[in-house]
Amino acid sequence: MIFQIILLIMLAYVVGFIYFGLYRNITARIQSRYGPSVYQSFYDSIKLFSKKNTVNFGWMFYLGPVIMATGAILTLVLIPIFSDSDFLRSVTSQGNLFVLLYLMVLGPLGNALAVGTGGNPFGVMGVVRGLTRLIGLELPFYIAVVGLIIAANSSDIVHIIDLQKTTGLNIINHPLLFIGAMISMVGFFGESPFDIPGAPQEVYSGPRTEFSGKFLALLMSQGSLFAFAKLVLIVDLFLGGADSLEMLILKTFAIFVTIIFIGVVYGRYKVEQAVDFLMKLPTLIAVLGLARVVWFG
Amino acid sequence: MESGFYGSSLDDSLKCKFEESGLENTHKIMEKAVNWFRSRSIFVVAYGTGCGAIEMPPTFTSRYDAERMGVIGVATPRQADLIILSGYLAYKTLRRVIRTYEQMQRPRYIMTLGSCPINGGMYWDSYNTIKKLDDYIPVDVAVTGCMPRPEAVIDGFVLLQKRIKNGEKAGWEKYDENFEFYKDNQKRVLGGHIDPSYETDWYNLKSGGKA
Amino acid sequence: MNSIFLLLNLLPILFLYQFGGALHVELNFTSSFTLSLIQTPLGTFFAYLSMISFLLVTIAQKSKKFSFSYYMLQLLLSLAMFMIVLAGDFITFFIGWEIMTWSSYFIISKSKNIDTKSLQKYILFSLASAFSLIAGMVIAYSFAHSFDFSVISSAFRDMPFNIQITLIVLFSLSFFTKAGVIGLHYWVVDTYSKAPDLFSSILSAVMSKMGIYGLFLIYGHIVGYQELKMMFGTILNGTNFGYTLAWIGVATSIIATFKAITQDEVKKLLAYSSIAQLGYIITVIGFGTAYGVAGAMYHTLIHTIIKLLLFINVAAIVAQTGKSKFSELGGLIYRTPVSFVMLLIGIIGLAGMPPLGGFASKFMMYNAAIDTKFALILIGMLFSGAASFLYCYKLVYGIYLGHPTSKNLETTKEVPISYLIPQIILALLLVLTGAFPGAFIKVINPVLVEFSLSTIPYSGLGVMNSAVGSFNGLFIISAFVVFFVLILLLITRIKSKAKNNLNRFDISYCGEVPAQDTSLHFGFGFGADLHKIKFANAILKRSSSSFYESLATQTKKTSELFSRMYYGNIHNTMLIILLFFSALFFIGVN
Amino acid sequence: MSLGYYFLLPVIFSFLTPYFKKIGLLRASSILLNLLLFLQTLVYTMMSLPQISLFSIKPPLGIAFILDGYSLLFLLIFTFSGLMVSLYMPWFFKANPRRDEARFYLFFNMLIAGSIGMILSCDIFNLYIFFEITGICSYTLSAYNKDKLGLESGIKYLIIGSIASIFIVFAIMLIYLQIGTVNLGLIAQRFHQIDPKISVLIVLMLFIGFGTKAELFPMNFWAPDIYQGSISPVNGLFSSVVAKAYLFVFFHLFYLFGLNSKYMLFVMVIGAITFLVSEFTALNQTNVKRLFAYSTLGQLGILFMAFSTNSIDTVSGALFHLTSHSISKLLIFLTLGILIHKLKSMKIDILGGFKSTFLTIVLVISFLSVLGIPPFSGFIGKILILKGFALSHNYAAVAFILLVSIVEAIYFFRIIAMMLDKSRAKVIVNVGVMNYAILAVLAALIVLFGIYPSLLLHYTDLAANALLHPTNYLTYALGVGL
Amino acid sequence: MLEFFNDTQTIHFIIIVGSMSLFFIGFYGIATQKNLVKILVSFDIMESALFLFFIGLHYKVGLVAPILDKHLKTFTNMVDPVPQAMILTTIVIGLAVLALGLSFGIEYYKLTGRNDISKMNELRD
């Protein structure tokens, strides 16, 4: 089991970084540039790890990124990666969707503590924007997840995956829920138009303002792990999971590319615009999907 | 201020390990690898002084795309490896530049654009600009031209990458070694407006209050 | 004196323990009604909850000098609550309820920063609550001819439908007022924020729970969940009644959450948060399913622990620094590290994050909502939970993180140990409830049997079972710890020379150097953005205070109108008497 | 031992008052007299009821005093209040020295005698005489301060009293013209024979007469003025004895004449309006005495509502409430006497301006009791009243009482907040030993009846039975069994 | 012509009319006058009207006063004595009240120089 966990983390690390490299490449191509190397994220992270000094504002500042990374890894191991496989099944069976929903916020909150300790007002502004954005951002996603749970009458992800084998994929059964969840996902990936918390031009890159060196590297690494975890979650919930590594990569990449395409073409919303928007159309779509599940499912 | 030795990092800690186990060659390879990675990933904080600021957007956007070389802009000095000063520096600006530079994490580099930071350029007799930036903070790469075109700036990046890759002694090491020299020079132009040196540490008042 | 009262506070616990579930006392009060104490599983749970809370608060009180009368009133209050939760009939319940009201009133009046207006608000709402209760009591009596719970319960079925509705509404109003449901929460915020600092913890953690106990008593015991289902019919998998109640609860929690975020006073934020958390309980209490009841009970427990912890923590900070506003506090983390960790544990619980007990209770409630398919209710709860992260963060940031806003905060010392002991106990409890959520199922099951609901399967201490899924608290908390330690080890191995303990002004500030008087603390800037969000602004700009204030103005005007009649002209008085006689005579003869 | 002593002893004492040369002796003997009356009442509590005392001829022709359960409770209240006030007076006169102290004792004892006479007398004309005696004594007592305010209140009271007495005389005359008797028993028997129109007239006149004195709503605009103009112990007497005596007579006649079925709703509505108007008016007062006068009016309103219900439980609760209200108001007014003397003001601020833990506690206890908050005696009365209303399915009354009680709570708790407010300037008030004892006894009674209500409930049940089913009373009043 | 008056009905009629007019004269006084003395006098007039009314209605033609002397040998042929006793008592009481009221009025007049009852409004909040 421990071996499997290490394997999983490494897989997620590699895949996550490569995805981010691809993301930067694809973005560049859309903007008619060449773009950096696919492995640029590796370079960045190794460079940051090997920085010769790092600012540290105290122990809470030190622990913040660690908590965030812990949250990401815990999220990762609690999501079933493969359907029809015993891979880490004994671990994933200990949690369920609600645990995941809240674990996804635990990391950012731990990081927010570190940002607060840093004492940079811009960092805190970024955190507050992030948390405010969360009010709107989680709404469509929650509705989608709740809809799926009610449809499957279980908050166990494995059960939801299994159910899709008999009833068909959820993306087809519940397209409205899928749209809602995807719009939220754009925000969860920090993409435009919901990327206000870390806007460099306004709040000095927000929560990450004071982080440097190994802390920044750790944050980047957990970001890629976390991104992978979120992609797998979407695949599990809507695309019926993946029974092999190829399918996993294919499906997650499909989702990822969709998110990139949405993100690249939009400008940035102000935080209140973002929340207002999220509480209108995406929420409405998701609620319609939910109503369909509750009343006609 | 930030005096003292800041030599230890991933490679340094590994260096000890390797030296203990008699694997100095391996360490040298590691160091080379790390230097290569450093050269491939340069985070830039672009300090737009003077007229050179206008040259930076094309450098980083579609037309010249510095990102393909791993050079990418960031917002805060904490994350940056390189600061680009794009023109003449008034005394007031110098103060901020020094502060920004000192907040960057080692290894850190400085790149200047145009002739003004080298010798004052057309501001050679101005009462409020500095003439030779290298006297106050160590410049690693100075790109000439008035103003240098993006191609020249990219050439500067390439030069810098080459030097990092080769592990040449960089400006930040000089700054740490000759700290008093630089500070004296800074004090001479800035007079009483030099930034505080933060001797009292609020967080450690319990233990004497010294940083 | 503190130790004596500590011992006195122990007595009820020992008393309860001694009887071990079989307490039954009856006392002839008057010819027509008796006083009786009966120990039910539900009552026992609440009794232990409140008594232990009192014990912990009394420990914390050692650090400050309190007068004898304060202690006496507090003891009286605890006994009154003891009486409430063990009451077997409405008279006992009501006597306990009213003693609770006035003894707490006198304790609150001992606060330094209390004003008449807040006191009036508190007592008038409390009395309104009590009078609503008494109205329900006597109406029930008029049908059952007894104040006894069991008699009323069996007579309830035969009452006319409109009486049944009236009773439920009256009792609910009474207990809603105590719990501070939105609209009836006008007193809560002022009272909690202006009461003596340590007493706020009792107000929020224990006294509001008496409202919850009352609701349990009414819905579960007097009316009965089965009867509620029969009376109101069902919607989805739950009852219509539960659905209505759930909307009230959800509205409460959402509105209070948004209000909490914009508060500048620490205790006001906690007060609103308390309202919001009780909103959750009210949401699930009416579902009428085993999981609804279990979720409500679990959250009662967790909220008691958390609010005791947070209020004691804040009380300690206020005592230590003399400041009670976010805009005046800040940067205390390295001055009072233990307090910081305690508050951190508290807010992780409050936000409902997984490794601690806060999550287990939320999980239970969410599953109850799924069980009944109240999807929108669940969304509302999740939404309010997401918004609550903001105030949780504001709480910890405003006090401990960021920059100190005044000079004396830079020299504050760690709070006295007597404040810390209860906090540590409570934090441990919070961790334990998170690690062993299954243990609580054993406490809940007798209550479910009492309410004639199905019981919850029990499979191990660490496992929390529910209708649609389960999780292992022990596994999650240990996995969290293991990963945490591993990553920490890994990151400390990378010895890039961390420049520790930078000066607090050494931050990247766009090349500028912040000075002593630069405003770097963002404590009161929280929630300013909320006003720009249409939905939040709609909530924030409305307030029930205008309604109650206009009510007060109207009362005053009526009073002035009436008192104009009593203007002392005896001649007119005489004429009025004669005219009145003539009018009556005219009416009477015809 | 005869019931006649209740009247004779005080009257004789009153007439002897001018002959006391030493004021101390007068005070002592007044206390002794009241103690004697109280002890006599205690003895009566142990005897079988009703008791009758004849004066030469037996009723229905003769004059007699009848003591049944109903009057026993009132007798207890009156004699107890008298005792408390007479114990209080030595301090009062020491604090406010007067040359005409004897005058007070004269009218005070006479007032007690008149009130007791009113509740014991079994023929309507004697009742009228005692009514007038009580009235004259109250006019004089309210004008005891011979300053502008005192005289004004005396004059006002006298004018209103005259109107009331004219109505009552008229009513008595009409009754006698119709039935030809003044005996209550006979009137009760024959009342239904009267021509309905005349009977309405009689009832209305009695209602106006006694209602005016008992401070019912449209006729009570004078009452606060009287309270304001007179001294505090007299206020206590007015509130706990005089008003209660008129209330006694009102309902005695109400039930005796069998008016309950016809006029129940009317009296209830009038009581409710009194309650509502008084409590709202009290909110706006700045003079303490007026404030508590309005509070008394309000409580009388509740009592009128509850007394008219024709149900034993409710009436018993009302009697309980009446007793506890008498005790509370006596306590409040006696305390006010102390405070007004010490702080030299009648503004409401004096309640926030004194510093004495004992006084604060007793005042709070009495306030809570008036509000009907457990575990004080007011609660038992209130819950019984509410229970009674609910049992008769009169939920509107329940709601009304509770709603207006909140208004009542506003000003009571405003005062409590004032007393607890530490930021106000405080004058230390030392209570004398005697006052300490008096107030402690009153407060103790409030608590005692609150936690052990059976003690009092026994008497209120007895009283309620006697009031609603006056068969025994009638037998005695008619002189059948004698 | 005087025979016309020697009839119970007529006498009662006259007494009722007379006493009621007197009563309303008093009533009018109360309603319109504001002088304390006049008010007290009005009360007395009203009371007198009542006495007259009561006593008068109990008189029947042919009956003698209830005084035991040579005209009255038995209890059959006399006027009912109870009203007369009652009225005597009431007169005394009325007198007492009147005296008390006047003394109050005098004292009050000495203090303030006023006797207008509608201006007695110092007792107010």
Interface contact C568-E117, CB threshold 8 A = no
Nearest residue, CB atoms, C574 vs list D159, D414, D417 = D159
Look at residue B16 and tell me if it is in a domain. no
Of C113 and D115, the structure prediction assigns the larger pLDDT to D115
**Cβ proximity of B115 and B51 under 8 Å:** no
Rounded to whole angstroms, the Cα distance separating C260 from C248 reads 18
CA-CA distances (angstroms) from residue A78 to A92, A104, C437, D401?
4, 11, 19, 61
Distance from CA of C497 to the nearest CA of B (A): 6
Question: Count of CB atoms within 10 A of residue E31's CB?
Answer: 14
Q: Which domain holds residue B167?
A: 41-207
Nearest-5° Cα angle at E118, E114 to E124:
95
- The ipTM value here is 0.90
Tens of pLDDT, residues B53-108: 888 889 988 889 999 999 999 988 889 999 999 888 998 888 889 888 888 888 89
Nearest residue, CB atoms, C402 vs list A65, A97, A124 = A124
Task: Look up residue C526 and give its two tokens.
Answer: 């929280």
Interface contact C574-E30, CB threshold 8 A = yes
Q: Which domain holds residue C145?
A: 1-223
What's the residue count for chain E?
125
Q: Are strands C497-499 and A53-55 parallel, antiparallel or unpaired?
A: parallel
Rounded to whole angstroms, the Cα distance separating D207 from D250 reads 7
Those residues whose C-beta lies under 8 Å from the C-beta of residue D194, and which sit 6 or more positions away, are D175, D178, D179, D202
Rounded to whole angstroms, the Cα distance separating C204 from C178 reads 10
- Picking from A226, A13, A107, B9, the residue whose alpha carbon sits closest to that of residue C484 is A107
**Cβ proximity of A174 and A147 under 8 Å:** yes
CA-CA distances (angstroms) from residue B71 to B139, B165, D193?
18, 14, 116
Interface contact C116-D414, CB threshold 8 A = yes
Nearest-5° Cα angle at C94, C88 to C100:
115
Asked if C494 has any chain B CB less than 8 Å from its own CB, the reply is yes
Kindly tell me if the per-residue pLDDT of B160 is higher than 90: yes
Those residues whose C-beta lies under 8 Å from the C-beta of residue B77, and which sit 6 or more positions away, are B45, B83, B100, B101, B103, B104, C508
**Cβ proximity of D274 and D212 under 8 Å:** no
Rounded to whole angstroms, the Cα distance separating C428 from A9 reads 31
Query: Do both C569 and C510 map to the same domain?
Result: no
Nearest residue, CB atoms, A31 vs list B8, B40, B62 = B62
* Per-residue pLDDT of chain A in tens (297 residues, 90 and over written 9): 888 999 999 999 999 999 999 999 999 999 889 889 999 999 999 999 888 878 888 888 889 999 999 999 999 999 998 888 888 888 888 888 999 988 888 888 888 999 988 888 888 888 888 888 888 888 999 999 999 999 888 888 998 999 999 988 999 999 999 999 999 999 888 888 888 888 877 788 888 888 888 899 999 999 999 999 999 999 999 998 888 899 999 999 999 999 989 888 888 888 889 999 999 999 999 999 999 888 876
What is the value of pTM for the model shown? Answer: 0.92
Total domains present in chain B: 1
Average pLDDT, chain B: 81
**Cβ proximity of A233 and A165 under 8 Å:** no
pLDDT the model gives residue E124: 79
Chain B residue with the nearest C-alpha to that of A36: B68
**Cβ proximity of C79 and C12 under 8 Å:** yes
Q: Which of B45, B105, B194, B202 to mutate to test the interface with C (most CBs of C within 10 A)?
A: B202
User: Quick one: residue D56, left, alpha or beta (phi over 0 = left, psi -120 to 50 = alpha)?
Assistant: left
Nearest residue, CB atoms, C29 vs list D201, D207, D453 = D453
Eight-state DSSP code of residue B132 = -
Least confident of B194-198, C549-553, D184-188, D331-335: B194-198
**Cβ proximity of D174 and D205 under 8 Å:** yes
Q: Where are the domains of chain D?
A: 5-478
φ, ψ for residue D354, nearest 5 deg: -115, 160
- Picking from E84, E60, E85, E64, the residue whose alpha carbon sits closest to that of residue E75 is E64
Query: Do both C192 and C239 map to the same domain?
Result: no
What CATH number does residue B48 fall under? 3.40.50.12280
Which residues pair with residue B43 across a beta bridge?
Answer: B72
Q: How does DSSP assign C181-204, residue by residue?
A: -TTS-HHHHHHHHHS-HHHHHHII
> Residue D413 burial (CB < 10 Å; 0-12/13-18/19+)?
buried
pLDDT the model gives residue C384: 93
Q: Are strands B71-73 and B109-113 parallel, antiparallel or unpaired?
A: unpaired
Look at residue B98 and tell me if it is in a domain. yes
For chain C, residues with pLDDT lower than 70 are: 21, 495-502, 523-524
Query: Do both C527 and C558 map to the same domain?
Result: no
Rounded to whole angstroms, the Cα distance separating D50 from D85 reads 28
Rounded to whole angstroms, the Cα distance separating A246 from B105 reads 41
Interface contact A28-B65, CB threshold 8 A = yes
Q: Which of C131, C194, C571 to mutate to test the interface with D (most CBs of D within 10 A)?
A: C131
CA-CA distances (angstroms) from residue A226 to A2, A43, A75, A221, C440?
19, 19, 8, 9, 33
- Domains, chain E, in order of start with CATH, read 2-62+69-118 (1.10.287.3510)
Distance from CA of E34 to the nearest CA of C (A): 7
Distance from CA of D465 to the nearest CA of C (A): 15
Tens of pLDDT, residues D371-403: 999 889 999 999 999 999 999 999 999 999 999
Rounded to whole angstroms, the Cα distance separating D173 from A81 reads 105
Tens of pLDDT, residues B97-156: 988 888 888 889 999 999 889 988 888 888 889 889 999 999 999 998 888 999 999 999
Asked if E29 has any chain D CB less than 8 Å from its own CB, the reply is no
Tens of pLDDT, residues E42-55: 999 999 999 999 98
- Picking from C481, C353, C344, the residue whose alpha carbon sits closest to that of residue C426 is C344
Q: Helices in A119-239 by DSSP H: which ranges?
A: 121-152, 157-167, 170-173, 175-188, 200-203, 213-238
Nearest residue, CB atoms, E124 vs list C567, C572, C575 = C567
Tell me if the bond preceding D50 is cis, omega within 30° of 0: yes
**Cβ proximity of D300 and D243 under 8 Å:** yes
Query: Do both C447 and C486 map to the same domain?
Result: yes
Which residues pair with residue B72 across a beta bridge?
Answer: B43
Distance from CA of B95 to the nearest CA of A (A): 20
pLDDT the model gives residue B26: 76
Residues of C in contact with E117 (CB under 8 A): 570-571
Residues of B in contact with C404 (CB under 8 A): 202
> Residue A264 burial (CB < 10 Å; 0-12/13-18/19+)?
middle
Q: Which of D166, D167, D178, D281 to mutate to test the interface with E (most CBs of E within 10 A)?
A: D166
Asked if B72 has any chain A CB less than 8 Å from its own CB, the reply is yes
Task: Look up residue E13 and give its two tokens.
Answer: 């009629």
**Cβ proximity of D474 and D482 under 8 Å:** no
Rounded to whole angstroms, the Cα distance separating D317 from D313 reads 6
Helix (H, G, I), strand (E, B) or coil at B186: helix
Residues of C in contact with A118 (CB under 8 A): 507
pLDDT the model gives residue E59: 84
- Picking from C368, C376, C373, C378, the residue whose alpha carbon sits closest to that of residue C466 is C368
Element (H, E) at A118: helix A97-118
Which residues pair with residue B71 across a beta bridge?
Answer: B42
Residues of C in contact with E118 (CB under 8 A): 569-572
Q: What is the largest CA-CA distance in chain E?
A: 66
Nearest residue, CB atoms, A103 vs list C354, C375, C494 = C354
